């Protein structure tokens, strides 16, 4: 495999910043959405499904500038983060840590699954899996097992993306069959190691932090490079971080985040083009 595009988590502002960045790169002649493999984690799963849908990237970007509607109010506050870290940091076993986070997510008071599913469905241009190779990550809330959904998984795209975006303590775990699933970012904010077979890898990561036994993005990138892959990582610059603000789930920050991503594309375009050409 030649090229992989890895899209990381980061809330509604992460969706907007990623789409702004991708639109800005395309404007400068660097069409990275034409990758052989697209992997989406959490917010990145929304972006991955969108850019693989066939809808023009410029149209997807413009939608981020519209007044937010149809989104449920939410905040990823310190209390939720503290519960998440406490649940996940009490063991060095990554699978057990994720299972504890999953248990916390199942017990949390959240909006209904149906209301959250409606939001996810409204974000996607189509409910059908694309012909292109798209992977969507999630975590089994009970076992802590890392799960990768694709077109062969017999799971709807809406449910796969919903599972990948199910932030523990904020959104309800997503029920698929007899199992419930939470955010793929509970395993890794990008899950960059899924690009192990790609010669060239572009990682777009609205956030890059980790806690407990969660694999660090830097370690995953180092592993890719050690195996011979060329890798470029793009994270928000200072202006983008200011636009995103402290609450990545705030829809009011969406337009500013999208514009900041598009502006940042001018700064990183040459480096990305050198990787992608």
Which residues are identified as catalytic? 42, 183
Beta pairing class for 3-7 and 37-40:
parallel
Beta carbons of 42 and 165 less than 8 angstroms apart = yes
List, in order, residues 6 or more apart from 127 with CB less than 8 Å away.
121, 156, 157, 158
Structural tokens at position 137: 């990550």
Element (H, E) at 233: strand 230-234
3-state DSSP of 35-54: CCEEEECCHHHHHHHHHCCC
- 3-class DSSP assignment, residue 130: coil
147 beta partners: 138
Q: Strand pairing of 179-183 and 134-140? A: antiparallel
| C-alpha 250, offset from chain centre | 16
Scanning the structure block, which residue is given the tokens 């490079």?
Answer: 225
Grouping H, G, I as helix, E, B as strand and the rest as coil, residue 62 is helix
CA–CA gap between residue 41 and residue 44 (Å, rounded)? 5
CA dist list (Å): 47 to 60, 192, 206? 9, 16, 12
Nearest residue to 186 (alpha-carbon basis) of 105, 90, 113: 105
């Amino acid at each position: 495999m030649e090229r992989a595009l890895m899209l990381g988590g980061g809330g509604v502002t992460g969706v907007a910043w990623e789409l702004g960045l991708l639109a800005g790169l395309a404007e400068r002649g660097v069409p990275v959405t034409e990758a052989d493999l697209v992997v989406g984690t959490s917010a990145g799963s929304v972006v991955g499904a969108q850019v693989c849908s066939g809808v023009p990237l410029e149209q997807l970007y413009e939608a981020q500038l519209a007044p937010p509607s149809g989104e449920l109010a939410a905040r990823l506050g310190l209390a939720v983060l503290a519960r998440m870290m406490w649940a996940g940091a009490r063991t060095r076993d990554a699978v057990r840590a994720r299972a504890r986070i999953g248990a916390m997510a199942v017990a949390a008071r959240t909006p209904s699954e149906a209301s959250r599913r409606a939001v996810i469905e409204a974000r996607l241009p189509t409910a059908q899996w694309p012909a292109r190779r798209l992977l969507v990550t999630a975590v089994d809330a009970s076992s802590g097992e890392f799960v990768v959904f694709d077109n062969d998984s017999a799971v709807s795209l809406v449910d796969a993306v919903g599972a990948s975006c199910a932030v523990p303590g904020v959104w309800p775990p997503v029920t698929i069959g007899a199992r419930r699933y939470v955010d793929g970012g509970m395993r890794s904010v990008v899950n960059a190691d899924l690009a192990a077979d790609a010669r060239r890898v572009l990682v777009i990561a609205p956030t890059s932090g980790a806690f407990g036994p969660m694999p660090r993005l830097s370690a995953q990138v180092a592993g890719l490079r050690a195996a011979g892959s060329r890798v470029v990582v793009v994270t928000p610059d200072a202006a983008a971080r200011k636009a995103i603000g402290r609450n990545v789930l705030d829809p009011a920050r969406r337009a500013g985040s999208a514009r900041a991503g598009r502006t940042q594309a001018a700064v990183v375009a040459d480096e990305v083009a050198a990787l992608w050409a």
